[in-house]
Structure 1
Amino acid sequence: MPSPSSELRLFGLDLPAVWQEIRQAWRKVLRMPALGWLGPRPVVLLHETQGRAGLWKQHGAGRFVRQGDGVEGARVAFQAVELPEDILLRRQLTLPSLPPEQLVRAVELEAQGNSPFAPSDLVWGQAVMGAAGTGPQRVELVLASRRSIAQHLARHAGGLDQPEVWVRCAQAADGAFPLQGFGEERRLRAERRGWLVLGCFVLLALALATAIALTPTLQLRQRALEAVAASAQLAQQARPQVAKREALLAANEQVQALEALVGNRLNPLRTMHTLTQVLGDETVLQRLQIEGSSVLIAGQTPDTAAMMQKLSAQPGFKSVRAPSAATRPAGATKETFQVEFTIDESSSLVNGPAVPADQAAAEARP
């Protein structure tokens, strides 16, 4: 039982088992006839028992199919020697559908349990007959003695360098499969290198396809970054002009506020000139207060009511009133008054042309 520390689990999933399932699925896909040309399929020159030579190529899990006649001594990367039937023991097995690794272990147990040879002298091989599916699997098991195989190779494969040892399938004359423990490791290493190179090419193709797909997006992003940089540079260059414009706008706002404040104010000199003409020489002003369009006058006059009537009749004067009653001191000939009124904004006294100071002073002099 494996220790808990050796188990790799994620969210309750056995990661090694998941990886095995993925590998088996890819193996089934890559072994499909339509995709058989994709992977590496080394060609092996088999020296057959009839004295002929044939070219064989892998077809399925551990099985090879004859492709045609070969030539003895041909320069082929991998060579094999076929064993005769008189040194072989065959056994047909029916096993449940198992993953390749579990199937190999099950066949190995069958080989060890049914072998008449010593464990150190046992050589075995197996071939799955038909496609693996959900039903039972038919497996052909072959047993042989290592000593007998060595004697046969010494007689028939003296000039070959680490040849493989093959046997024919009992139910398929054009099929063969290797026995383990001889020169098949060189071919397996070549297959792994081929798959590695193929995987590198596939990754390269995917990288190129991804780059081609992302190039327009990256170009648009680069253009956007360049536009943002150009905008920032333009804003930096225009910063002095923008500051001047903001200062000009602030000055304009101040001027407008000043105009609004000054525009509704009365012209003091013209107001004094108008009051001098309206009130006459009999009225004496002791106080003149102007706040916006409101005017407050105080002084002495012979008749306060008559003076207020003159002010009310003057164009531009309105809301004439006396905030306090007029008084006449004992023995005085004039009344002391205080009168308020407002000047219409359309009057010429508002922002009108100013009367020269000397003229206004001369007209206001009694």
Structure 2
Amino acid sequence: MRTQVAIIGAGPSGLLLGQLLHKAGIANVILERQSADYVLSRIRAGVLEQVTTDLLDEAGVGTRMHQEGLPHTGFDLLFGGERHRIDLHSLTGGQQVMVYGQTEVTRDLMAARQAAGLPTVYQAGDVSVHDFDTQHPQVRYQQDGAWHTLDCDFIAGCDGFHGVCRASVPEGAVTEYEKVYPFGWLGVLSDTPPVHHELIYANSTRGFALCSQRSATRSRYYVQVPLTEKAENWSDEAFWHELRQRLDPEARETLVTGPSLEKSIAPLRSFVAEPMRFGRMFLAGDAAHIVPPTGAKGLNLAATDVKYLSSAFTEYYTERSNAGIDHYSQRCLQRIWKGERFSWWFTSLMHRFPDGGAIGQKLQDAELAYLVQSKAASTALAENYVGLPL
């Protein structure tokens, strides 16, 4: 079998790349080691920057997002027992974000790919990439007990942090930067109305909490826990009790609780791999970078990668130009490091660190107070939150 672009990974970045390439008339095949149902079962955040919503529209999959997504023009910072609104709309000249779950983005992209009859191989086993340092790269995989070879012009590694693509790069060809945080997020998904119509980011003496939502009837809540914690040790009652302790009196009164639909703990990490191009293989999304979820940048940085990569491939096939693919890594990394910086800063500001002590909380309180009292500081926060210009 032969195609122009072989895409490894059927998460949102791989599916979005495939859809954009299809729109540009570029043949592509997606290989995914898991089943479609498994991919859809992964619970992820869903705060979309304008660049991401624009890309979904360009890919022709934005209709349901606009119908069911929740545009947000601000969010609340909670500290010292009081909430302070960050007005994204006024601070950024009219910009906003869209709250629309990553699972729903994936579902829309899957449906579009299926409707177009584009080839996706799920449960592809033992995927391996070969000869990407030549003009004739290959991808090999196993399915139904038989081996298959996919010849292609380019390989797009959208296969996540533990994927095969980055792992196949020769030793010494990639530099990895990593910071692992000493805590995780215990998250609960519930069919309950959100405690507030916008997100609440809470800094409390008991640790960080986040009140977010997926719809007007489905909520997603998080509390900071040590890395040693296990989700199964937390009953629903214990979770709701802990969340209440980290909220302000008004939120505690209005919080509606219910059975959890899903409960898990996500560790926090900052990670970047440089470069993102190796001959005719390109990394995108979590294969190249991870951010702590505090700044809601993971999917949005992946979407930017896909924007640059789809444009580079389109330029190559329509204009026979290598400029886009030659500058892909550099262009992506400039934006990635800014997203990494913001996510690290926001995480450091909102969480309790084991070695922070009393002075750590006082310093956070002082910075948060300055943040909401200074228009310049609030504007910097708002600009990063809605997404920096490309």
**Range class of TM-score, shorter chain:** under 0.3
Whichever structure has more strand as a proportion of its residues is 2
TM-score, normalization: structure 1? 0.23
| Higher gyration radius (CA) | 1
TM-score, normalization: structure 2? 0.22
